[in-house]
Amino acid sequence: MKAIIIAIDGPAAAGKGTLAVALAQHLGLPHLDTGLLYRAVGRLMLDEGRDCAGDDASDIAARLAPSDLKRTDLRLPEVDRAASLVAAQPAVRAALLQRQRDFAATHGAVMDGRDIGTAVFPHADIKLFVTASARARAVRRYQQYHDRDPSPAALSQLEAEIEARDHIDSARHVSPLQRAEDAILIETDDLTPDQVLARALDIVARHPKFLAGNP
């Protein structure tokens, strides 16, 4: 198959990463979870005691090392928020843009994030916008980390945090979270991860580049 770029965008805990990993594996493509870049910048800002909302974080974005992306403390709730705040800084996004484009340059890629189909690869071969209700996403995120169902109180708190982050991500001026006009919407409330993957593979299978490589 020719190098193909698949952009997967959507709000927090919609299942973007789960789909991206499975799709990349099925298609033999490299995968980049672009949220990790923003999480690492937010993490380093917190480590340095800097204000993610007020202080320019572009120096950190420019010197991110591969080891920063492998840290095990990037998915803590305080990093969720820090990532979202630094991601609203235009200079941070500018510093990370070329790095994301370079990733897919040779072999293509499956990339998941918020602005892959709108800003990073506006001409991506396939664009998927994966979403679900805030309630469903809060349940998923809780189960993902705790391996059990949330209490009503825990669920309400997580849902509020997810909605707050969705708001920051959608309301920012630069590269806001939005569905590209040509992105295919996948609503996942009533779908299992396998069903979402099957739908995505079906979309890929009908793409001319895929057909060209698989007569």
> Using CA atoms, how far apart are residues 34 and 74, in angstroms rounded to an integer?
13
DSSP state of 55: S
Nearest distance from C-beta of residue 21 to ligand CDP, angstroms: 8
Q: Are 129 and 183 in contact (CB under 8 A)?
A: yes
Strand pairing class (31-33; 108-113): parallel
Site for ligand CDP in 152-191 (CB under 6 A): 165, 169, 188, 191
Write the DSSP assignment of 34-45 as a string of letters.
THHHHHHHHHHH
Establish if 108 lies at the interface with ligand CDP (CB under 6 A). Answer: no
For ligand CDP, give the closer residue by CB, 145 or 212.
145
> Using CA atoms, how far apart are residues 59 and 70, in angstroms rounded to an integer?
19
Site for ligand CDP in 30-69 (CB under 6 A): 34-35, 38-39
Site for ligand CDP in 115-154 (CB under 6 A): 115-116, 140, 144
Give me the residues that bind ligand CDP (CB under 6 A), please.
10, 12-18, 34-35, 38-39, 83-84, 87, 113-116, 140, 144, 165, 169, 188, 191-193, 196
Which residues line the annotated binding site? Answer: 10-18
